[in-house]
Amino acid sequence: PSYKRRIFYEEFLTSMGASQSELYNWRGSGMSVMEMSHRGKEFLSIIQKAESDLRSLLYIPPDYTILFLQGGATTQFAAAPLNLCSSPTDAVDYIVTGSWGDKAFKEAAKYCNPKSIWSGKSDKYTKIPNFDSLNQTPGAKFLHICANETIHGVEFKSYPTPAGQKEVLVADMSSNFCSKPVDVTKFGMIYAGAQKNVGPSGVTIVIIRSDLIGYAQAITPVMLDYKIHADNNSLYNTPPCYGIYMCGLVFEDLVEQGGLAEVEKKNVRKGSLLYDAIDGSKGFFRCPVEKSVRSLMNVPFTLAKPELEAEFVKEAAKEKMVQLKGHRSVGGMRASIYNAMPLAGVEKLVAFMKDFQARHDH
């Protein structure tokens, strides 16, 4: 999950308390969740609790359906147009703020007629457009955004209103899902791979306005048809049971933390600490992203002296701070500070950055 990018692996183990104590014997059932029938009462209680906790965390209204699916967010790049466009000629708009949005846009071209109405590529994906300047296609079936660009560290802080008749805004929230409150009613559909903030890879969550379900194109594979999954409460075939169970534990934990408003406060504190350190370094470190749209989850930064970057990553690893190398497509560094990263982890990184600068800035 996010954990791949986490600085303190030990913290991950600590956060897994329940799943460890229940590993071989879930609540006295004599079974591990891995052994259960997905149709048995035990697993049904697990998936229903996960769904209801997620519903309360995000205040998801009753007219929205929650699906627990497989195939990663990448599968949703195809599933969204297959389900929301009744014909491959249907127009759809994409705002491309980074490489994930671009991937979604390119995949959609196989199943509908997508138009990139704004792209941040020429600015190296460091911006979000001014919504008033968007030239949306009349009759577009939906408007797609990537709410947080994981690689480029660009995050929507507010959302555009889609122009189409049904006002369907579709958001890939893979990398900021459950990191803050979101007004679900602004969206026709939200999807997210679980692995950043809410559980292990293998689970993909779709939250969709129920009136949009049931219009999939005829060629839609059964496994991508939201109606099939909705009619079967995400149990049409064997779901990723263990992953859903883990997501449920994380949802429980987020509820216990006081809900997403509290989670957001912690993320704001972590993000501010790191961005302030970058901005206060007198140019030694730099974050290329426009200040107003900087991601609270993924913080990309570079060094004024790029020849020091490899050294930075190496020295950080010695201090047990790993996964700091930027994505291969952009270089530099990136600190992914998902929900599970404690403030202490960011404090440690910031102290290391200051020390590194003191030793190399001459």
Q: Which residues bind ligand PLP (CB under 6 A)?
A: 72-74, 100, 146, 150, 172, 174-175, 193
Closest distance to ligand PLP from the beta carbon of 172 (Å): 5
Nearer to ligand PLP by C-beta: 65 or 175?
175
What does the alpha-carbon distance between residue 268 and residue 296 come to, in Å, rounded to a whole number?
7
Backbone torsions φ then ψ of 149, nearest 5 degrees? -85, 110
What does the alpha-carbon distance between residue 349 and residue 229 come to, in Å, rounded to a whole number?
43
Closest distance to ligand PLP from the beta carbon of 175 (Å): 4
Closest distance to ligand PLP from the beta carbon of 74 (Å): 3
Closest distance to ligand PLP from the beta carbon of 202 (Å): 9
What are the distances in angstroms from CA 47 to CA 199, 235, 249, 265?
14, 10, 11, 28
Active-site position among 26, 90, 93, 100: 100
Q: Are the beta carbons of 286 and 279 closer than 8 angstroms?
A: no
Active-site position among 93, 102, 172, 225: 172
Decide if 100 is catalytic.
Answer: yes
Reduced to 3 states, what is the DSSP secondary structure of residue 336? strand
Active-site position among 26, 102, 118, 196: 196
Nearer to ligand PLP by C-beta: 83 or 175?
175
Nearer to ligand PLP by C-beta: 36 or 171?
171
* The 189-193 sheet, strands edge to edge: 64-69, 204-209, 189-193, 169-172, 143-146, 91-96, 113-119
Residue facing ligand PLP at closest CB distance: 72
Nearer to ligand PLP by C-beta: 136 or 150?
150
Catalytic residue set:
100, 172, 196
